[in-house]
Amino acid sequence: MTIKTGDKLPEATLVKVTENGPEQVNSADYFKGRKVALFSVPGAFTPTCSAKHLPGFVDKADELKAKGIDEIACTAVNDAFVMGAWGKGAHADGITMLADGNGDFAEAVGLTMDGKAFGMGTRGQRYSMVVNDGVVEQLNVEAPGEFKVSSADHMLEQL
């Protein structure tokens, strides 16, 4: 079942990229007590994700935080080392890169996509959400091949 506005995020283990290496993160603990702008991309280093999605949140980080966002996080069905390298290469210092290597989080929120035709296997869909104390306040899921409603600009308009 796909998560919707008003739902509590399900528990899953993600991996946070840190200076000291990968660190496991329980989603319930991570989102507790703060307002997080979370966005999901089908894959690190992929064209739209690298050219528009991640850079948009990097560029708009201060504006999002000025509107009450405590943290901005990016997730993808990639391993922590790939997410770390992508974040570093994109100068995404203000973005927490959360690896969902096995796709457990994407599956738990019901937002997977079949990328097998492109050699990518099962991935997370492109979306953004505002999570307040573990509860989804906004959810913006893109139609296949689109990049509109999951952007940082769209999120800013909603806040």
CATH code of the domain occupying 13-158? 3.40.30.10
The pTM score is: 0.93
> What residues are annotated to the active site?
49
Enumerate residue ranges in the chain where pLDDT < 50.
none
Within the chain, strands assigned E span 13-18, 21-26, 35-40, 71-76, 95-99, 112-114, 122-124, 127-132, 135-141
Domain boundaries, the chain: 13-158
Q: Which residues pair with 38 in a beta bridge?
A: 73, 129
Which tokens is 34 given? 């703060």
What integer best gives the mean pLDDT of the chain? 92
